[in-house]
Amino acid sequence: MPTPDIGNAESAAMEPAARHAGLQEQFEDAGQQRSAAELGMWIFLATELLFFGGLFTLYIIYREIHFEEFKQGSHLLEAGFGLAMTALLVTSSFTMAMAVRSAQIGKRKPLVAFLLVTMLFGGAFLGLKFTEYHVKWTEQLVPGLRFSPGGERLQGARWQGVEMFMCFYFFMTGLHALHMIVGIGLLGVLAILSCKGRYTEGHFTPIENAGLYWHFVDIVWLFLFPLLYLVRGA
Amino acid sequence: MSTAAIAPELPRESRMHYLNANFGIKSWLFTTDHKRIALLYLGSITLMFFIGGFGALLMRIHLLAPEGWLMSPETYNKMFTMHGVVMVWFFLIPSIPTTLGNFLVPMMIGARDLAFPKLNLLSWYLFIAGAVVALAALIAGGVDTGWTFYTPLSTLYLTTHVLSTATGIFIAGFSSILTGLNFIVTIHKMRAPGMTWYRLPLFIWSLYATSIIFVLATPVLAITLLLIGVERILHVGIFDPALGGDPILFQHLFWFYSHPAVYIMILPGMGVVSELVTCFSRKRSFGYTLIAYASLAIAMLGFLVWGHHMFVSGQSAYDALIFSLLSFAIAVPSAVKVFNWTATLYKGSISYQAPMLYALGFIGLFTMGGLTGLFLASLAVDVHVHDTYFVIAHFHYIMVGGAVMAYLGGIHFWWPKITGRMYPDVWARLAALIVFAGFNLTFFPQFVLGYLGMPRRYAMYPPEFHWLNVLSTAGASILAVGYVAPLVYLIWSIRYGPPAGANPWKASGLEWEESPSPPPTENFETIPIVSKEAYHYAEGIRAHP
């Protein structure tokens, strides 16, 4: 009987059993892994904040320089669109929070369901967004590509300032939409993994982190909405 | 006799370590071992260093004659742009953090790896992708904006490969962000039992400060480069005054990243010097906490001084005044470090091994670079020397005399740990002296040239500046010898160097005391329990008897 082999096989089987299945080898215990992943996510969000921060700074400065034109540009957007999208996103944040809660208490079915619902709201947001882009395209309000506004709404405005406003509108909401697409993809992967039972009461950090990301993207929109759609005077 | 020579080799070679744990190209390209990734980085950035350095040498040769004789002015413009882009983004910024940092952060704090090993590998791939894109742009015809990409030159007037170069930098930026993120989390969460914040080596403090800049400044560069792309592709006027934009805003955003980036380059070097000075004078670091806090202060203040690049760009006089004041303020933590290193040397048992020569060179050259920085922070003096060779000399004293000296010193110090082999000490000392002499001969004349009024970025100059330029070019050729020499003897030592042993310098620190050279894949047999301060040197015992 090959006794030494059995001994090896036993100790090899023992060792991973001593560590949690999802525990990576560089970590000593699950608590360390979890707090590292959380801190990593918060730092990532800080970089995102600076990423958008540069844009917000430029927007605010140009708004000061081209005050009238930016006001005029803002009137070219339908606040109704913005309001509907805001409602969708805020609701999606609620369902996301519910998904995280379901993961924490280890309820698999509600977790998958809430993830899917969140994706659905996110998808609806993107649908509205691209409808709005399409409307701007037909109104010939896409800077650089198709910008020849002829209507009387633009009378008296230096069209450059308005074009710049539209430029910021497309760039900022476009970048935000890109983050939404990434977020929906991420939730899709997590939904599949949750279905397979990857996440348990003791191991749900990826869901929490996805939640942090989703709320962050949501909060960016909560600043974009008033800046672009609402702050425009009479 | 031959058997006697081989016999002691056998047990050493049979020990498993990270270099012989597995073999083949895949074991390197898919590795998540921080030590192997450090070596991947080391190879890549060494290549970039010599590409960028070759460009610099060609420029110096061109400037041997007042009318410039080697290349056309257009090529010269592309050459200094290439030199700047390659050296800043593909050598200096990643240099110490990605090589020594990657190798040493887990080892110094007593961890088995960084917190996110896969992210670490990803950051190397991003770096390579960025480097390939940027180099392809340079080979395809190059770009002539200068490394600063000022608008509207970069967006309106040039038809060169601005977009692809910027794309390369954009991609490499994410590599920086991921490295910084990984370091911050690792230093917070992965320290061994007993490794309190105030027992951390000062190298770790400096990398922590550097990482803060990585994650907070780089995204702003990313968004700025994106906007350049949008403006070039769609011909909209974000920075174009003719279309209602403001080109100065580009400079604000650019320097909001690029000034802190200067501290990305120098802070890790300061950390290396703290390690070298303590080891080779066998003393605790004088003012440990002050040096640690000075790193953080530099990282914070570094975000508040970007306006000093724009004293003559038309910002308001009040802005300029405040930025000038803040630029003076950031000299304080830098000086705190220099004084503390000097005080550490005082009454130390100093030995002049090659790494120490680099460290002493660093202290002198960094002081020169720092003090001339004060000239430039003074509004009136800056107007006189702005955009002259004075500025070139100033920042090369920091970047080359400071950062590159520290990088080489660090590589020489930890080479025995990384490879398990010693290099020939005589050659290394000689190379350090050659670098020091060549560097000063190259750049000191440029202070004089700049003060006399020779502008930077010109392919030719008036004849009265001739002899100083000849001196500078002579220095550059000496410097080149000093840089090629380590490449030769360090590579030689991998195969032929004598075994180093775990701690050839008798240095303090977990990487020396608790792990053999080269370290095993998991760094430590068991995670060490730390009970001592950093730099617990018994005074009076030299690094080498």
Q: What tens digit of pLDDT does each residue of B465-475 get?
A: 999 999 999 99
Distance CA B325, CA B275 (A): 31
Which pLDDT score, from 0 to 100, does residue B268 have?
97
B304-310's contacts with Cβ under 8 Å and 24+ in sequence apart are B305/B259, B305/B330, B306/B252, B306/B255, B306/B256, B306/B258, B306/B259, B306/B260, B307/B252, B307/B255, B308/B259, B308/B376, B308/B377, B308/B382, B309/B251, B309/B255, B309/B258, B309/B259, B310/B248, B310/B251, B310/B252, B310/B255
Closest CB to A145 among B116, B186, B234 = B234
Asked if A164's CB is within 8 angstroms of B236's CB, the reply is: yes
Which pLDDT score, from 0 to 100, does residue B14 have?
67
For B:148-187, CB contacts with A below 8 A are 177, 180-182, 184-186
B234 three-state secondary structure: helix
Angle between the B202-234 and A159-195 helix axes, to the nearest 10 degrees?
A: 120
The DSSP output letter for B520 is P
Mutation for testing the A interface, residue in B122, B156, B181, B248 having most A CBs under 10 Å? B181
Q: What tens digit of pLDDT does each residue of A154-165 get?
A: 555 567 788 889
Residue pair B449/B468 in contact by the 8 Å Cβ criterion = yes
Write out the two tokens for A178: 């890109």
Distance CA B80, CA B147 (A): 8
Mutation for testing the A interface, residue in B223, B225, B230, B231 having most A CBs under 10 Å? B223
Asked if A43's CB is within 8 angstroms of B185's CB, the reply is: yes
Search chain A and give the residue with CA nearest B243.
Answer: A160
Q: Is it the case that residue A234 has pLDDT exceeding 70?
A: no
In terms of Cβ atoms closer than 10 Å to its own Cβ (0-12, 13-18, 19+), residue B525 is exposed
Q: How many residues does chain B have?
A: 545
Whether the CB of B21 is below 8 Å from some CB of chain A: the reply is: no
Q: What tens digit of pLDDT does each residue of A115-161 get?
A: 999 999 999 999 999 999 999 888 888 887 777 776 555 555 567 78
Asked if B246's CB is within 8 angstroms of A51's CB, the reply is: no
Search chain A and give the residue with CA nearest B188.
Answer: A36
Which pLDDT score, from 0 to 100, does residue A227 have?
94
A28: closest CA of chain B, how far (Å): 9
Whether the CB of B494 is below 8 Å from some CB of chain A: the reply is: no
Whether the CB of B77 is below 8 Å from some CB of chain A: the reply is: no
A174 three-state secondary structure: helix
Q: What tens digit of pLDDT does each residue of B141-167 get?
A: 889 889 999 988 888 787 788 999 999
Search chain B and give the residue with CA nearest A145.
Answer: B234
A191: closest CA of chain B, how far (Å): 22
Residues of chain B with pLDDT > 90, as a percent, come to 85
Q: What is the CA radius of gyration of chain B?
A: 23
Q: For residue B538, name the pLDDT band (cuts at 50, 70, 90).
A: confident
Which pLDDT score, from 0 to 100, does residue B13 have?
54
Which pLDDT score, from 0 to 100, does residue A20 have?
66
Distance CA B165, CA B83 (A): 13
Q: B274: Cβ–Cβ under 8 A, 6 or more apart, which residues?
A: B201, B202, B203, B206, B285, B291, B337, B341
Asked if A51's CB is within 8 angstroms of B219's CB, the reply is: yes
DSSP codes, B47-111 = HHHHHHHHHHHHHHHHTTSTT--SS-HHHHHHHHHHHHHHHIIIIITTHHIIIIIHHHHHHHHT-
Peptide bond connecting B268 to the previous residue in cis, omega within 30 degrees of 0: no
Which pLDDT score, from 0 to 100, does residue A53 have?
94
Q: What tens digit of pLDDT does each residue of B398-436 get?
A: 999 999 999 999 999 999 999 999 999 999 999 999 999
A170: closest CA of chain B, how far (Å): 11
B223: closest CA of chain A, how far (Å): 6
Write out the two tokens for B28: 């390197």
Write out the two tokens for B19: 């270099």
For B:243-262, CB contacts with A below 8 A are 243-246, 249, 253, 256
Which parts of chain A are beta strand (E)? 141-142, 146-147
In chain B, what residues touch A68 (CB-CB under 8 Å)?
none
In chain B, what residues touch A47 (CB-CB under 8 Å)?
177, 181, 215-216, 218-219
0.90 exceeded by pTM: yes
Looking at this predicted complex, what is its ipTM? 0.91
Find the mean pLDDT for residues B334-351.
94
B176: closest CA of chain A, how far (Å): 11
